[in-house]
Structure formats: C-alpha cells, structure tokens
Amino acid sequence: MEMKFLDREEELGRLERLAYSGGLAVIWGRRRIGKTRLLLEWCKRHGGLYTVADQSAAPIQRRYFAASLAARFPGFDQVQYPDWRSLLGRISAEATHQSWRGPLIVDEFPYLVATSPELPSIFQVWVDQGAKEALLAVALAGSSQRMMQGLVMGATEPLYGRATEAFHLQPLPAQYLSEALELATARDVILAYTAWGGVPRYWELMSESGLPLDRAVDHLVLNPLGPLHEEPERLLLEELPPAVALRPILDAIGLGAHRVSEIAARIGEPVTSLSRPLQRLMELGLIQREIPFSASSASAKRSLYKIADPFCRMWFRVVAPNRGFLADAPARAREKLWREARSSLVSAAWEELCRQWFSSGVAQDSPFREAGQWEPARRFWHGEGPEWDVVSQTLDERCMLLGEVRWSERPVDLPKLRSLAKTLLTKGIPPVKALRGKNLFHVVFVPEVTQDAPAEINGVHVVTGEQVLNEMRRSGIHRDKS
C-alpha cells in the first residue's frame, strides 16, 4: 500500500507556480528521497506527462522517450528521431498545436546526458525557444546530485541561469513519522527516526513490513537479503561519476574518527588530500561539518565531521564493520548488534532533533519567545572542558540559552531531573568572552517525564520529546537545520 503523500508544501507550491507560468525546474536529491513521488503528485494535478530515462544507448533512449510521449501525443512513437533536437522540436510543436502546457517531467536526466553529452546544449536552445514559445513547464530530475547541481550551478554549463526553480529535495522532517507509521508516542518517533532518518521510502518499507522496529531493522537492513543491506553503496554508485572512492572516509567517520587528522590517520592518507573528498561528501548530503558555537566557519582545526543521515549513521556503525558476521548470523544475533549500538545512535538523533527544534524558530512558541529572535543552535566544546548540547543567543545578543540533552529508555522522574538541572547549572557558561553578562536560559531536554515532573526545576526549563515534535509540526518546520 502506497504511503500517504506528506509535507512537501513548499516544493509543490514552487512547482505549482511554474505550471501556470511555464519554465524549467531542476530537482535533485539522493535515491528514495521522494523526487518521483513529488513529481508524480504535481503531474497528476495538471494532466502532465512523466517519463523516466534508463541506462541504454541513445537511440533506444529516444525510442522509449517517444513511446512515453505517445500517451499524450498519439502517433508520436511512429517516427524515428535521429537526434534529440528533432525529438524536442516535435514536442514543442505538438504542445503548441494542442495548447498543452505540461508539465513534461524527465526523471533520471543524467542517464540521458551520460550517453549524449551534447544534450544539455540542445536542451538549453529548446528551453530558450521551442519550450518557451509553447509556454511549457518542464522539469528535469535525477539522483546524481553532482551532475544535476552542475547543470544549473556551473557557470560554464549550458543550462546555467535557465532554471526558474532549482532545488535539492531534502529528507522529510521527523515529526511526520508519527503519521506515516502511526506511532503513538514521541519516544517511538525518535527511535524510528534513529533508524530511518527522513527518507520516505525507508518509512514505506518499514510500514509494509508490519514488524516492530527492532525486527524491521533486521529484516530490511541487517539481513544480507534485506533491500537496504547495501543501500549506502548504491547511493555512491548512483552518482555520475560514481563516488565509491569516497567510501573509506565514511567508514572512518562511522567508526568514530571525526577530526580531519583522525580520518586521515584511519584511512592512511595525508590530511592535505581530504579537502575535496570531504567537500563532495557534504555536497551529497552524506556528511556534515560541525563547528562549535561562536567559532568562525574558517576554524578548520575545531571542525568535526559526522555522518549526516541517521540511517547511514546506523549502517556504518552496525552493518559496515560486521558484514562478515552478518552473512551467516541468526536473526537474534543480528538484532543484538543493533540493540548494542542503538543507545548511542538514538542519543545523537535526539540531540539533533532538539537543535532542529530550536534552530527552526520554534522557540518563538516556547517559554523563550519573549526574549526575541534566536540564532541557529549549535553545540559547544573546547579542549578537555565541558560540552553543551544546545547553545544559542538572541539576534540582539542580550540573551543566551544553554541546553542539556539526555536520552532515557524510561520516563525521567523528579530526582533525575534535579540531577540533570544541577549538572547543567554547574557547567556555568562556555568560555567565550563575548557570551559573558547575558540573560541566561537553561533547558533540559528529555524524551519523556513522569507525571509528577514539573515544567521548570531550580530555574531550569524542562522540554520533552512530545513538545519538540508537536511544536515542530504546528509551526510547519520543514527542514533539518541543525
């Protein structure tokens, strides 16, 4: 059963405007992220035409393309098209004749470019002339993020500046998991987000399995026969050119190397050789660079790198280093590996959600709203000193928030909250001169509390998983900005 279409209001709104005005949209994103579902939803609303390319020879690709167009233009496939210019010209002529405005959607466009490198130049002329005269709305999409980005962002590329809309389709926010998987509690949502991240196809596979979370992780990921057992390898292969050479860096980060020097030592490469590979992995959305609060973005020495996607983080922690063991291990032993790693993985995911909640402006609907607008939240660490999980200050720099995030398998009771509050207050403030003398807010984030737990203890606010997810949903938070 197909999962309900969730979120994507902003992206769909942009495409809707294009449907009425005509123009070119270019959309990219990793496989299974929901590009096809978004485009099909848009297509259905306007009687458009969706086509998807494959990795065949150019003449066969044109034949298949013409066959799909015959659904809109009868007889379109009865003609042999010697090149892409003649095929595209026929499309705009037929569209003008029938007053059809599209949208015309070409998915996996990089497959066509791989066999016909001249196609972007041909497409550029067609977009500027034939498609424009026909007032056609056209969308190009693909999973090869590097190629799709290059088509519209490379200053020397033919399609540079031609796209009316161009965006990277991001994972769905965690708060939609409760609706997608019919999860009753915030705890269940956080656990599911730890395993599947915001990739809707993973959610759909979980739903279709009908299994509880731990067993679904084994069935879909840990089991060598599972459809997601080799998923990150496929993500790297999907790129054009393939990005499999970047795999060792992901392995190193997954095993706990987060500084450039640590990563270089782990894979046996000089530090100076890692700048471009790390940048490409960030462009692909597979890793994130994290710098402490108040540090300059140029502070390379203080930067940490982490795997950005919760699912990939889990895969490189549990699957990658245990492929041999998983090959013939029984289900119970496989699940044990996941449960052993789950606590640290869910702690990291819960911490990210707390920063997302605060960074996305939800604080304006919280006890901190009277302080004003807040900057995006970050962590703070320095040397061997204490760490703060959530740190932010108001735009006018008068107020500062310090947060302690703690995951617990059980509801947190009053004595534990007192202990967490004391721990946070004892830390003081980060040792940054510019942060002194500000009005301080202290917050403890926990997934769930017992019934006797107050909303504030010893001047420290208590925020639960239910508050975080409900306020993110109510405020329409759409993206991970941690």
Interval 432-439 mean pLDDT: 82
Length of the chain: 482
Q: Are residues 144 and 181 in the same domain?
A: no
Over residues 17-26, the pLDDT tens digits come to 999 999 999 9
In this predicted structure, what is the pLDDT of residue 480?
A: 44
pLDDT at 69: 95
Q: Mean pLDDT over residues 335-358, rounded?
A: 94
Last residue of a domain, one of 328, 345, 362: 345
- 3 domain residue, yes or no: no
Band of pLDDT at residue 438, cut at 50, 70 and 90:
confident
The residue-averaged pLDDT of 33-60 equals: 94
* 261-320 per-position pLDDT tens digit: 999 999 999 999 999 999 999 988 899 999 999 887 766 678 999 999 999 999 999 999
pLDDT band of 434, cuts 50, 70, 90: confident
Count of the separate structural domains present in the chain: 3
pLDDT on residue 481:
41
Where does the pLDDT of residue 482 fall: very low under 50, low under 70, confident under 90, or very high at 90 and above?
very low
CATH number of the domain to which 469 belongs: 3.40.1350
pTM of the predicted structure, to 2 decimals: 0.90
Q: Which of 302, 319, 345 is the last residue of a domain?
A: 345
Mean pLDDT of 352-356: 92
80 and 20 share a domain? yes
Report the CATH number at residue 63: 3.40.50.300
Is the domain of 129 the same as that of 195? no
- Residue 263 and residue 108: Cα distance in Å, rounded? 33
Looking at the fold, whether 78 and 153 belong to one and the same domain comes out as: yes
Please report, for the domain that includes residue 236, its CATH number: 1.10.10.10
Q: Is residue 481 part of a domain?
A: no
Q: Are residues 117 and 203 in the same domain?
A: no
Asked whether residue 1 is assigned to any structural domain, the reply reads: no
337 and 208 co-located in one domain: yes
Question: Is residue 159 domain-shared with residue 93, that is, in the same domain?
Answer: yes
79 and 123 together in one domain: yes
Give the domain-ending residue among 308, 323, 345. Answer: 345
Whether residue 401 lies inside any domain: the answer is yes
The percentage of residues in the chain with a pLDDT greater than 70, rounded to a whole number, is 95
Same domain, 252 and 376: no
Smallest CA-to-CA distance from 371 within 381, 361, 380, 356 is with 361
Q: Is residue 482 part of a domain?
A: no
Q: Residue 232 domain-assigned?
A: yes
Torsion angle, alpha carbons of 324, 327, 331, 337, to 10: 20
Q: Which residue type, as a one-letter code, is found at position 374?
A: W
* pLDDT over 60 at 479, yes or no: no
Is 13 among the domain residues?
A: yes
Say yes or no: 240 and 104 in one domain.
no
Tell me the two tokens of residue 450.
């017992």
pLDDT at 356: 87
The pLDDT of 131-151, averaged and rounded, is 90
Q: Is residue 369 part of a domain?
A: yes
State whether 159 and 236 are in the same domain: no
Residue the block writes with tokens 């604080």: 363
Same-domain pairing of 239 and 188 = yes
Domain that holds residue 68: 9-168
Q: What is the 3-state secondary structure (H, E, C) of the chain?
A: CCCCCCCCHHHHHHHHHHHHHCEEEEEECCCCCCHHHHHHHHHHHHCCEEEECCCCCHHHHHHHHHHHHCCCCCCHHHCCCCCHHHHHHHHHHHHHHHCCCCCEEEECHHHHHHHCCCHHHHHHHHHHCHHHHCCCEEEEEECCHHHHHHHHHCCCCCCCCCCCEEEECCCCCHHHHHHHHCCCCHHHHHHHHHHHCCCHHHHHHHHHHCCCHHHHHHHHHHCCCCCCCCHHHHHHHHCCCCCHHHHHHHHHHHCCCCCHHHHHHHHCCCHHHCHHHHHHHHHCCCEEEECCCCCCCCCHHHCEEEECCHHHHHHHHHHHHHHHHHHHCCHHHHHHHHHHHHHHHHHHHHHHHHHHHHHCCHHHHCCCHHHCCECCCEEECCCCCCCEEEEEEECCCCEEEEEEECCCCCCECHHHHHHHHHHHHHCCCCCCHHHCCCEEEEEEEECCECCCCCCEECCEEEEEHHHHHHHHHHCCCCCCCC
